Amino acid sequence: MELPKKDEEVPLPKIKEICEAYGLHDLWAKIEKDPPPKPFKSDGCSLWVNSWKGKNLYSACFLHDLKYWAGRPGENVERLVADAELLIHVARLTDSTEMAEAMFHGVRVGGHEMFKQSFSWGFGRST
């Protein structure tokens, strides 16, 4: 499935289609039950590169952004799972753990909701 482009607003029906295509059924149920008030846009690999050694990392970052957008304050375990899934996705895309581990540590530190950035956990719900 072709994902929307970087910084493209993604409507809920398209988010549902993406969640179904990637097996993110629990994520879609969460979004459908309580959609974040802010529209979803992915900035790709926030403050990072979208490709490495000829490998495109955008799909991993897009799906990670979707999980972060839908996050709720205090969902520490869900955030850890989203970050671990990013690590695994990047490791598979690159056939290496080097970039995957660097990105994992970066999002663990820089993606915390307390920073209230446009890419922080729960950015679709932040005021």
Q: How far is CA 4 from CA 20, 21, 41, 67, 88, in A?
A: 15, 13, 9, 15, 22
User: 3-state DSSP helix/strand/coil percent for the chain, to nearest 5?
Assistant: 55, 5, 45
**125 within a domain of the structure (yes/no):** no
Question: What's the number of domains the chain is made of?
Answer: 1
Reported as a single tens digit per residue, the pLDDT across 9-39 is 999 999 999 999 999 999 999 999 999 999 9
**15 within a domain of the structure (yes/no):** no
pLDDT at 39 (0 to 100): 98
Reported as a single tens digit per residue, the pLDDT across 114-123 is 999 999 999 9
Reported as a single tens digit per residue, the pLDDT across 37-90 is 999 999 999 999 999 999 999 999 999 999 999 999 999 999 999 999 999 999
Q: How far is CA 29 from the centre of its chain?
A: 16
Nearest Cα to Cα of residue 19 among 33, 47, 93, 45: 33
pLDDT at 96 (0 to 100): 93
Give the DSSP letter string of 97-127.
SHHHHHHHHHHHHHT-GGG--TTSTTTTT--
For residue 111, what are the domain limits? 42-115
Question: pLDDT class for 99, splitting at 50, 70, 90?
Answer: very high
d(CA 126, CA 53): 35
**123 within a domain of the structure (yes/no):** no
Nearest Cα to Cα of residue 46 among 91, 83, 88, 98: 83
**31 within a domain of the structure (yes/no):** no
pLDDT at 46 (0 to 100): 95
- Look at residue 127 and tell me whether its pLDDT is greater than 80: no
**64 within a domain of the structure (yes/no):** yes
pLDDT at 61 (0 to 100): 98
